Structure 1
């Protein structure tokens, strides 16, 4: 047996950091941590104006800068209270330090280099030093620090200038290491589509002997966006392309001085758009299931983008279900992909078997868990099979076993379907929200199975786009010898 890598829960994405100050965000994070339990959380906007860290001012005719951590402390305190650590991203540029006015997103993250590199180094140093002073060196050494976001795209870094990014990375990484040599720093957090960027970046850090503790990139499988009012439609590549992207950094760095560095996929999803309704569907859970089950074979972490629909890059959403990235909608409605992660969180650590449509594990108690998913047609949802059958054999002690099955598909555990049937209310009432929360829960079924020659045979039939979890435990029958269920009504 082999151990199931924990890469699937090592990190999760979030909207910009200041959103953590809102109640809906806090409630959503509490739910995600209670039922899934991610280890780290990564999002944009650490240095954007909304966090209020970089505060230039004039006093007695002299220009000064104050670095204020009022909001940062509140955000990090919340994370640690929820049992999750920051995966820090150094960006975007504070407007008071920016060399230009180009921005990205509705909330205007500045994408230009600093007009003073020494002032940028001061900002990084003061922020990291403050975190070490407040939370302790041993704690902060467990927080990876990533330099910028997708600098290979002009939307995120002015002119996608590699030389300017290399300078930003060198100054940032050196500054972090000046605070403490064992702090983790890495990059380049590139978007898919510019794969030579990593090789060029690796050549630069090796040639200049720049500190680097990990490499990072992102992974998506969607094609060009076809915009409709407040929404987007896109084609999708097969989900296996995500695993190929996960594996690419190790392949590119093989035989180089960076060979063997940890690889973090700091964003992944199907679509890169936060308004693509595919994210809300049962198809999406079944589509991503083989990726989440096997991603740890290719990367040290792969961060689902994102845990919640509290996310405003394209503006404030106009409806409860709007195609957001989140595992949860606003108001904590669970999507089918939430259950994919929650199911995996209930599995054992030792892998018994894997297949194209299942993962089987066990734990020290003898409990066996099976995560199974239906095959999907990534070109047309209507062509996905209406059913799919699996037969699995699993080891089990005793004479019989108890099975609990939890399932989501197009009809079950699917609040998106219920919302459509309601008429897609943009602002559901309290009663409708209660109905949606109930509709979002997986359907549970249970049964007793015989153990034959130390094994249980399980025949599974999966519905269209179903993801299901089976938990099977040995039965220790403690029924008294005098008990007779047939006499519940007192009949002799």
Structure 2
């Protein structure tokens, strides 16, 4: 029987088979809507705005746009940083602001226009992060450019406050006016303008009060050029930490109770942003990685508590970085725990965090609109080096296929229960360290229905497949054709295909074509019924789609 179960674990669909173990019972009732399904996974970001213009960067942006039927938002650092536009690990630049021989401001939009044009051409919508400080406006400009790994990159002059806050506000005003002229007020009015990044750590070398002043002048500049623009912040780090929580609370108090340093009026705030990060670690015996989903969810819960207790409880919340850990540019070479990024565990983790965040938002009655994955691609690097990326050298990773799956969830969220699910409260208390969590999320949009299941465990090591017995209720009559998609060791997994090739450093043209095919989201079959038993491998995801 054990041998039979191992065989079944690799099959896409099992109907009428007998199982030795009690299956996980999953019931989806499409006749019980639970409110509008809020897409939150359609947001992405990266340090190196210049990689937008790289061939693989442009291709990846188009893939992200095509994955969703709703707008896809993109956030990037270094839009105001000085330099020639060359991108590198955790660095980029646009040279938007310099001075002439008389010290007067000179604005140059040549590089930044290419970035925004590429975003628009790819069909994605900018989330405009206003940062970092131009060299000619920095309070302490030297050293300005620091290469990743050579020293503390956050000791750069790009993280300094401005020498003149009026000039900072004018830079933001001129930039916003340029965007309006180039793309139209209606289009730019759809975008979100976020002031800076993580001012509670050395991404900002000023005081908290100086950040508030920076914010005031920035939003005044945006609103002067586009009165209806959506502005917000503070993009602070982990609220589960005392410093991050205190900073977020103080910022909200500033917006609620104080006057703007720029114009003496009330401080505009249209959305609230903060960051949430997990904490994976290599276990003592060195044989496997243990994820820290509980840590990321603790950030989200504490942030929601702070917002819910503030005067801004109904404002949109943007998790403008929400990831398993903090350093996208750190590879598995620098930190072996980062090896999780290559395989399907990253996808299963993101599925589990996605549902938990939706549930926490409902519990605290806050308006969560974004789980922004800080992940993109790096040019000129080896294949599958363990960077936190969606693709490597144009080859899609399994995690990108989770986002493709998530893009098929839409309409109304419907009742869905799993006997194998671990509650969000339990994950927050204990992580997923005993039995795995086998959970489900389902939506209905007229004739389009989708059921997403995953088998997640914090420990990145082999485990038995879950045997899922699926029951569907209330499925609309028109939603009969079923498409089945999978992510696991054998499906939608270019990393596994690369390993089977012997992990080549320089794949041949034929091997690259094979890897690209393996990296897509695999539809493993079409059926007219879905009820029955499914084998769901550890770190595996299964999506069932009915209708269009």
Shorter-chain TM-score category? 0.7 to 0.9
CA apart distance, 1:220: 0.8
Within a 5 Å distance, the mapping from 1:54-453 to structure 2 comes to 54-58=97-101, 62-100=102-140, 101=142, 106=147, 110-154=158-202, 156-158=203-205, 161-192=207-238, 193=241, 194-208=244-258, 209-222=266-279, 235-237=290-292, 239-274=293-328, 275=331, 276-297=338-359, 298=361, 299-306=368-375, 308-310=376-378, 317=381, 319-331=382-394, 333-355=395-417, 356=421, 357-365=439-447, 367-376=448-457, 378=458, 380-382=459-461, 384-396=463-475, 401-446=480-525, 448-449=527-528
- Whether contact under 8 Å (1:7, 1:295) holds in the other structure is no
Inter-CA distance 352–202: structure 2 relative to 1 (3 Å threshold): closer
Say how many residue pairs are matched: 447
- Whether contact under 8 Å (2:42, 2:407) holds in the other structure is no
Residue 2 (str. 1) matches residue 34 (str. 2): yes
CA apart distance, 1:448: 4.1
Inter-CA distance 390–291: structure 2 relative to 1 (3 Å threshold): farther
Structure 1 residues without counterparts, runs of 5 or longer = 227-232, 451-455, 475-492
Inter-CA distance 388–4: structure 2 relative to 1 (3 Å threshold): farther
- Which residue does the alignment assign to 1:481? none
- Whether contact under 8 Å (2:278, 2:323) holds in the other structure is yes
- Whether contact under 8 Å (2:449, 2:479) holds in the other structure is no
CA apart distance, 1:245: 2.7
Inter-CA distance 180–473: structure 2 relative to 1 (3 Å threshold): closer
Matched residues in 2 for 1:74 and 1:66: separation? 18
Matched residues in 2 for 1:116 and 1:447: separation? 63
Matched residues in 1 for 2:314 and 2:416: separation? 26
Inter-CA distance 293–72: structure 2 relative to 1 (3 Å threshold): same
- Whether contact under 8 Å (1:374, 1:388) holds in the other structure is no
CA apart distance, 1:291: 2.1
Matched residues in 2 for 1:436 and 1:412: separation? 12
**What is the root-mean-square deviation in Å for CA atoms of aligned residues?**
2.7
- Whether contact under 8 Å (1:350, 1:363) holds in the other structure is yes
- Whether contact under 8 Å (2:341, 2:387) holds in the other structure is yes
Tell me the secondary structure at the aligned position of residue 451 of structure 2.
strand
Inter-CA distance 114–461: structure 2 relative to 1 (3 Å threshold): same
Matched residues in 2 for 1:334 and 1:408: separation? 12
Residue 538 of structure 2 is aligned with which of 440, 446, 464?
464
- Whether contact under 8 Å (1:375, 1:385) holds in the other structure is no
CA apart distance, 1:136: 1.7
- Which residue does the alignment assign to 1:51? 94
Matched residues in 2 for 1:47 and 1:112: separation? 12
TM (norm. structure 2) is 0.75
Structure 2 residues without counterparts, runs of 5 or longer = 1-32, 83-92, 259-265, 332-337, 362-367, 422-438
CA apart distance, 1:223: 5.2
Tell me the secondary structure at the aligned position of residue 80 of structure 2.
coil
- Whether contact under 8 Å (1:7, 1:296) holds in the other structure is no
Inter-CA distance 170–247: structure 2 relative to 1 (3 Å threshold): same
Tell me the secondary structure at the aligned position of residue 250 of structure 1.
helix
- Whether contact under 8 Å (2:440, 2:451) holds in the other structure is yes
- Whether contact under 8 Å (1:392, 1:459) holds in the other structure is no
Q: Compare CA radii of gyration and give the structure with the larger one.
A: 1
